[in-house]
């Protein structure tokens, strides 16, 4: 890079800006859900454990039995809250992956002699990202009105982004120069933005949520297996990156 782009490491700066922007969006979304449903977003897991482990009420304190209608209403409200919180986090994750996949498809569509190498990298890259998106999507409690179409829309959004970008790349391969200054600049900026989104989601929404705030943490064997899978996945991605 030349000019002002060479005077400062803009890639990590853009990535940090993207990461903090997603943090602000995430906090705003969580606050919106909390205000809408009257929740306390600062309630900790320890407080929840204390509440759950409180001694049972005495005979004089026994509550009036709840009706089926009240129980069903409370269940529906809890489902709505869980869906709103988890789907907001998932949407941020998929947006970062889709954004990144656009440029992967474009570069693959205009590839020359390096096509065979990029094909292997693309196959593993998209497969593991698809597994991650599918696993996270399957854990979201979908209300009935969204259950029949929303998961499919999310799958189509991820599954068709890269092929469409590849088709665009094939269409402009005679005029598009992926090694040109402008192309590298645009791709670099968008890749840095995607990196910030994925770093935030990877550390906060995935690792922190699954390892710190989930009950699986109580089982040493399951925790060791989960950590082993994470480190193995990181190692595989590093190896794939050597050819990317």
> 44-57 pLDDT, tens per residue?
443 343 344 444 44
When comparing pLDDT for 6 and 65, which is higher?
Answer: 6
The C-alpha atoms of residue 89 and residue 85 are separated, in whole angstroms, by 7
- The C-alpha R_g of the chain, in whole angstroms, comes to 23
In this predicted structure, what is the pLDDT of residue 187? 78
Token representation of residue 52: 């759950």
Angstrom distance (rounded) from CA 136 to CA 182? 36
Q: What is the mean pLDDT of the chain?
A: 77
pTM beyond cutoff 0.85: no
At 168, is the secondary structure helix, strand, or coil? helix
> Whose CA is closest to 115, among 185, 173, 180, 191?
173
Q: How far apart are alpha carbons 182 and 147 in whole angstroms?
A: 43
């Amino acid at each position: 890079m030349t000019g002002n782009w060479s005077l400062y490491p803009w890639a990590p700066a853009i990535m940090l800006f993207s990461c903090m922007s997603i943090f602000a969006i995430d906090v705003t979304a969580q606050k919106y859900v909390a205000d809408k449903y009257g929740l306390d977003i600062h309630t900790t897991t320890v407080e929840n454990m204390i509440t759950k482990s409180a001694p049972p009420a005495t005979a004089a304190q026994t509550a009036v039995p709840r009706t089926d209608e009240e129980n069903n209403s409370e269940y529906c409200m809890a489902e709505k809250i869980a869906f709103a919180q988890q789907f907001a986090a998932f949407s941020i994750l998929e947006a970062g992956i889709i954004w990144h996949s656009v440029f992967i498809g474009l570069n693959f569509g205009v590839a020359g002699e390096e096509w065979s190498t990029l094909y292997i990298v693309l196959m593993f890259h998209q497969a593991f990202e698809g597994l991650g998106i599918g696993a996270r999507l399957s854990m979201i409690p979908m209300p009935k009105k969204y259950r029949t179409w929303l998961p499919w829309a999310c799958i189509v959004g991820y599954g068709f982004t890269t092929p469409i970008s590849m088709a665009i790349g094939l269409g402009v391969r005679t005029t598009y120069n992926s090694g040109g200054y402008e192309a590298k600049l645009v791709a670099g900026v968008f890749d840095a933005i995607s990196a910030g989104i994925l770093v935030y989601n990877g550390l906060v929404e995935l690792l922190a949520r699954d390892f710190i705030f989930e009950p699986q943490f109580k089982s040493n064997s399951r925790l060791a297996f989960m950590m082993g899978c994470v480190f193995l996945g990181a190692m595989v991605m590093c190896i794939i990156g050597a050819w990317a």
